[in-house]
Amino acid sequence: MPDRLDSVPKLTVSELTSIIKTTLEGSFYNLTVEGEISGFKPASTGHWYFSLKDNGSVIGCAMWRGNIHRVGFIPKDGQRVVVKGSLSVYEPRGTYSLICTSMDPFGEGDILAMLEERKRHYAGLGYFDASCKKPLPKHPERVAVITSPTGAALQDILQITGRRNPAMDIIILPATVQGPGAAASIAARIKDVNDFLLAPVMIVGRGGGSIEDLLPFSEDSVIEAIHESEIPVISAVGHEIDWALSDYVADLRAPTPSAAAELVCENAFDQKEIVEKIRRSLTDSMSSRISAVRLRVAAFSPASAGKQLEGRLAHNRMRLDYGMSSLRMGVSSLVSARKSRLEMLTHKMKALSPLDVLERGYAIVNTQDGKVLKDCKAVGIGEKIGIRLANGHIGAVISDVENASEGSTKEN
């Protein structure tokens, strides 16, 4: 009797694993899984490796570094999250894992949607416009800090301001920064700074935390208080990857409370270095000018003074001679030009003068009353006329009048 096992197709381990891989990866994709992070390990390559677990099971997970930029927080063990991804089989070991493409803290989806809606609302009102931003004072002597009096954020601010500028006054306004009533507490402290003019600039913030912990800095009362503040506000909420709506409405957003402290206080040592550079520059400039004067004084003597005076006089004489020569040439050229023009105008006047015309044999005839005779009809026979020649006058009596078009008229 033949062995029934001989009739069953045999598979190698690789073939079986390949079938499982094809089946799982082709059937389980675009999954949304909720669980608690365990064994979170960022790799040196930039990838994340961790497990998701609940009360009954554990599944290995990975997130490649190309998707990590979409995650707005650093995961930690014990944190409940919601991930999206697909199953993948690692054939050399025959294990499967969930390859994640996104990750959100559990329950944050509704909070994020609410924050985005509130952000659009206040953006539409113009609360985030650059025109609403007030400039920070350049060298404030005092800064108001609104935060928890027991939080690490305050200690960071005090440490940095004390190291960079020990002379700066820090006014601490204690506020609740987490939980019920936190938003009202923060808004009230902002109003106090304005009402009592406590400082020319204020820092409003806290250390890092979950999105629920940071919610008070995105509440309406805090947004309105920052917008209405006449004193510039620096928002310093959480870590660099954290954000709150106070970051958008504030006059300046600092990635951390420590960064906010650095923004408001200039390093005292830097100021001393600047003063020292100015002092050295002034000293070098004065030394250079004094050295130049000393050289000039050292070169002075009665003999050298006489030579210098003589040289200057000779130079001035040359300039005077050159000026006189130029003046003579200019006057001579001007006179010649004027003479030429005068001669030209004289020739023109002679050409137009009636006396010159008389020199050529012409005469001017006047009537008895002195008018120039132009038409023969203006006189009659027997009338006296005057004839002016080039060298005198002749008196005459008309005995004949002849019109060029009518012929002559004579008295019989």
State residue 252's pLDDT score: 95
Query: Other CB atoms closer than 10 Å to residue 275's CB: what's the count?
Result: 10
Q: Please work out, in degrees rounded to the nearest 5, the angle formed at the alpha carbon of residue 104 by the alpha carbons of 101 and 106.
A: 135
CATH top class, domain 111-268: alpha beta
Residue bearing tokens 């006179």: 335
In tens, the pLDDT along 358-368 reads 777 778 888 88
Q: What is the mean pLDDT of residues 37-59?
A: 91
State residue 109's pLDDT score: 61
Burial of 379: CB neighbours in 10 Å, binned 0-12, 13-18, 19+: middle
pLDDT more than 70, % of the chain: 91
State residue 126's pLDDT score: 95
Domain residues of the chain, as ranges? 12-106, 111-268, 358-410
Structure tokens given for 344: 């030209």
State residue 404's pLDDT score: 61
Query: Other CB atoms closer than 10 Å to residue 154's CB: what's the count?
Result: 22
Q: What is the DSSP letter of 134?
A: P
**The pLDDT of residue 320 is above 60:** yes
Q: What is the mean pLDDT of residues 240-257?
A: 92
Quick one: pLDDT band at residue 409, thresholds 50, 70, 90? Answer: very low
In tens, the pLDDT along 19-31 reads 888 888 888 888 9
User: pTM for the complete prediction?
Assistant: 0.48
Which of 17-26, 250-259, 369-378 is predicted most confidently? Answer: 250-259
Range in 30-44, 121-135, 312-326 the model is least confident about: 312-326
User: 146 has which bridge partners?
Assistant: 173, 204
State residue 16's pLDDT score: 87
Q: What Cα–Cα distance (Å) separates residue 279 from each residue in 85, 220, 267, 272, 273? A: 64, 51, 18, 10, 10
**The pLDDT of residue 353 is above 80:** no
State residue 7's pLDDT score: 65
State residue 411's pLDDT score: 43
* Separation of alpha carbons 202 and 226, rounded Å: 10
Start-to-end CA distance of the chain, whole Å, equals: 188
State residue 208's pLDDT score: 85
State residue 380's pLDDT score: 81
Q: In one letter, which amino acid is 280?
A: R
In tens, the pLDDT along 69-88 reads 888 788 888 888 999 999 99
φ/ψ region of 150 (left if φ > 0, alpha if ψ in -120 to 50, else beta) reads: alpha
pLDDT mean across residues, the chain? 86
In tens, the pLDDT along 102-126 reads 998 886 666 777 888 999 999 999 9
**The pLDDT of residue 410 is above 50:** no
Quick one: pLDDT band at residue 198, thresholds 50, 70, 90? Answer: very high
pLDDT more than 90, % of the chain: 41
Quick one: pLDDT band at residue 9, thresholds 50, 70, 90? Answer: confident
State residue 277's pLDDT score: 86
* Separation of alpha carbons 359 and 344, rounded Å: 20
Quick one: pLDDT band at residue 307, thresholds 50, 70, 90? Answer: confident
Quick one: pLDDT band at residue 375, thresholds 50, 70, 90? Answer: confident
CATH topology of domain 12-106: OB fold (Dihydrolipoamide Acetyltransferase, E2P) (2.40.50)
**The pLDDT of residue 268 is above 80:** no
